[in-house]
A and B are shown apart, each in its own frame.
Chain A
Amino acid sequence: MTSVATPETTLGATTAEVCIAACADTYRESGEILAHAVGIIPALGARLAKLTTAPEIVLSDGEAFFLSGPPMPGDPDAAAPAVEGWAPFRRVFDIVATGRRQSMMGASQIDRFGNQNISLIGDWARPTRQLIGVRGAPGNTANHRVDYWVARHSTRVFVDAVDMVSGVGNDRAREAGLEHHHLGVIVTNLAVLGYGADGIVTVLSVHPGVDPQTVTDSTGFALDATDAPLTRTPDAEELRLIREVLDPRGTRSREVAD
C-alpha cells in the first residue's frame, strides 16, 4: 500500500497529520461518550483516537448507527465494524441533553471568547450571506464539550465580533449560567489554541514549520504565540494508522494541503 499525497512517506508528518493527531488528543480524557466530528480531519482524529488512546469512545456512521470501530478501507485483515447501537436523529438530541457527547465543529467565525458563528454573514434580518444556520451549535455548547476545527486560520475566521453567536463562548456562557458549558481546544492548520482562566483564546502550541508570527498575523484579535511550544508530531504507529488504515486515499490533503 502506497500512501498518496504524503510526500514524506515514512519520515516527518505533514501538517494535516499533525492536525489529525491534535484532534485525536481531544478525546484523551473523554471516557465513554459519543464522538461527533464535522470535517475530514476531525473525523480522522476521532477514528485515530478510537484506535489508540480512547478505545471507549463511540463512533457513528454519520447516519443512524453506532459502529464498533472505524471502517478500515486500507486494512484487508481488519474486522468490519459491527453496528453496536441505533441512534436516529431524535436520539442524538437526547444524548446531547444527557451530556454524553463531545463535538468538534467547524466555524465560519470565532471571537476571542470562543463565540462561534456558522449561521450567516451580515445582518440577521437580511444576511449578506446565508450560511448553514445555527444547526445544533447552541445546544451542543450548552450541554457538553465542544472543540473547533479551522482548516484555514485567518483574520476572516478569527474576528473581533462574530455576526451571529451560534456556538456559545465563555463570556456568554458565564452570563447565562451554563454549568455544562465546556470549550476544549481550537485546532487550526497553524496551531492549537485553548482558553485562559479568563475565558480568552490563547495559544497552546504552534505546528512544526509554522512561524509563530504567522499565527498572530492571521488572527483578528490579540494573540501572542511567541513562547508557545511545538505541537506534537504523531508517532510512527499513528502515522501508519493514518496513512495505511484510516486514509489511504489521502483525503486529508483536501482540507489541509501538503
Chain B
Amino acid sequence: MSDKRVSIEEAVATIESRMTIGIGGWGSRRKPMALVREILRRDITDLTVVAFGGPDVGLLAAAGRIRRLVYGFVSLDSIPLDPLFTRARERGDLEIEEYDEGMFVTGLRAAASRLDFLPILAGLGSDVLPANPRLRTVASPYSDAQYVAMPALPLDVALVHVNRADAQGNAQYLGPDPYFDDLFAMAATRTIVSTEKVIPTSALLDEGSFHTLLFSRIYASAVVEAPGGAHFTTCAPDYERDEAFQKHYVASAKDPSAWAEFERTFLQTDEAGYRSAVAQFHADRGES
C-alpha cells in the first residue's frame, strides 16, 4: 500500500490557480488552516472555493485568491461575521454563490454520487433562486411537486484536517462532529488530508471506536502531518478554539495597519514560524 505522507509544501504544490477547491470543517471549527496558510505563501490565484466558510475564506478572500466563492455561510461561530469576508463582499470583489446550508450539503452529495443535481425543498420561494441564476427547479415525474434541482458541487481538490490518520489516508475524527469532511472527500478528484498526528493503522482504534473512522484511504491522495494544523479553529478534543487569537484576528482585520502587522507576524513566515509567533502572542498576554 502506498505511503501518502508528504510535506505540507509538496501537498500544496499540487494545487493550481483556477482550480475548484473544497475546504472541510465548519465555520471556525476543524478547518485545515495550515494548508490554507501554505496556499497564502504560494502564487495560487483565481480559485473557486467551496466551503462552510470561516477564517479560511476570510484569509483567502483578503489575499485576493478567490475568484468565485460557493458557500453555505461564512462565520467565526463565537464571532458571527468574518470582517475580511464581509469587506470583500461589500467591495464587490467576489463572485458569489450563496446557498441555504442544506442546499449546500445536497450539492456535495450530488457531486459525491456523480449526479448533475439532487432535488430539495429548501430554496423554493426564497431569494436564493434569483440570486443564483443557474439554479433551476425540477418537476416530479410522480406528482405535481416542484423541487429545487440543486446542482452538483464537484471539486478538483478537497482540503480537510482530521485528528488522526494513518500513512495511507484512513482518516479519523475524535470530536463531537464529523462536519462534512467525508462528503468533501467524496465530491473531490483528489483530497489532501492534514492531521494532528499520523499513527499506525493498527492504532486507529486506540483513541476512538470504529464509528470515528470518518473516511477511507480510497478518497485520500496525500497525508500531511500538521500538529496544530487547525489553529485557531477548534480541533476538539486535541484543542479548543483559540478565542483570544481569533479576537486578535478580527480586531486586526478591521484596521489596515493592524492587519499589515498581523500579516507580517503570522503569515509571512512558514508553519514553524507561525507556531512560534502564536506562542509569543500568548506569552505577551501573560498566558503560558
Chain A interface (Cβ < 8 Å from any Cβ of B): 63-65, 86, 88-90, 93, 96-97, 119-120, 124-139, 141-143, 164-169, 172-173, 175-178, 180-181
Contacts and interface: CB of A to CB of B under 8 A. Distances in A.
B203 interface: no
Nearest to B89: A130
A88 B179 contact: yes
Nearest to B145: A177
Contacts of B86: 129-130
A88 B101 contact: no
B127 A88 contact: no
B73 A89 contact: no
Contacts of B101: 93, 135-136, 139
B223 interface: no
Given A64-B176, A89-B177, A136-B101, A178 B124 contact: yes
B176 A63 contact: yes
Give the size range of B's interface with the partner: 35 or more
16 contacts: A64-B177, A89-B26, A89-B179, A93-B102, A130-B85, A131-B81, A134-B128, A135-B72, A136-B101, A136-B102, A138-B124, A139-B121, A139-B122, A141-B126, A165-B126, A177-B145
B75 interface: yes
B249 interface: no
Contacts of A169: 125
A134 B121 CA distance: 15
A178 B121 CA distance: 8
A136 to B, nearest CB: 5
Contact of B121 (A142, A172, A175): A142
Given A126-B90, A132-B80, A143 B121 contact: yes
A153 B24 CA distance: 38
Interface in B114-133: 120-128, 131
Interface string B67-80: 00001111100001
A148 B93 CA distance: 33
Given A138-B124, A139-B102, 16 more contacts: A64-B177, A88-B178, A90-B105, A93-B102, A119-B98, A124-B127, A130-B85, A132-B80, A134-B126, A138-B125, A139-B101, A139-B120, A141-B125, A141-B126, A142-B122, A169-B125
Interface in B53-105: 71-75, 80-81, 85-86, 89-92, 98-103, 105
B180 A89 contact: yes
Nearest to B98: A133
A67 B18 CA distance: 45
Contacts of A97: 102, 120-121
B22 to A, nearest CB: 15
Contacts of B177: 63-64, 88-89
A128 B89 CA distance: 9
Enumerate the 5 nearest inter-chain pairs by beta-carbon distance, A residue then B residue, closest first: A139-B122, A176-B125, A168-B125, A138-B126, A64-B176
Interface string B121-163: 1111111100100000000000011100000000000000000
A168 B129 CA distance: 12
Contacts of A64: 176-177
B125 A142 contact: yes
Contact of B73 (A126, A133, A141, A164): A133
